[in-house]
Amino acid sequence: MNTKHPLAVWMDSHKEITQARLAADSGCSEPHLSLILKGGRGVSMRLAKRLSNATGGEVPLEAFLLDAESAEARA
């Protein structure tokens, strides 16, 4: 079963926030953010904190950590 990354769900409910803006706000590149949203790329603890902060904490740090654990389990 394919489920959306919590950050992708957040983006779906915040249509006014573009990937470009979120990437700029979190200090990562747009291609890197795109891979994260598609579930194809993990994030460092530092980037997870910046992304969580960029969402105002609506996507908690744990969402990124759980996603990384799921990716490791699939490998």
Number of domains in the chain: 1
Say which CATH number the domain at 54 has. 1.10.260.40
Residue 1 domain-assigned (yes or no): no
Q: What is the pLDDT along the chain (75 residues), one digit of tens a residue?
A: 468 889 999 999 999 999 999 999 999 999 999 999 988 778 899 999 999 999 999 999 999 886 555 544 444
Spatial contact of 17 and 24, defined as CB atoms under 8 Å apart: no
| 29 class by beta-carbon count within 10 Å (0-12 exposed, 13-18 middle, 19+ buried) | exposed
The answer to whether residue 59 sits within a structural domain is: yes
pTM equals: 0.81
Q: In which domain, by residue range, is 70 found?
A: 6-74
Q: Count Cβ atoms within 10 A of the Cβ of residue 38 and give its class: 0-12 exposed, 13-18 middle, 19 or more buried.
A: exposed
Whether 28 is in a domain gets the answer yes
> Is residue 52 a part of any domain in this protein?
yes
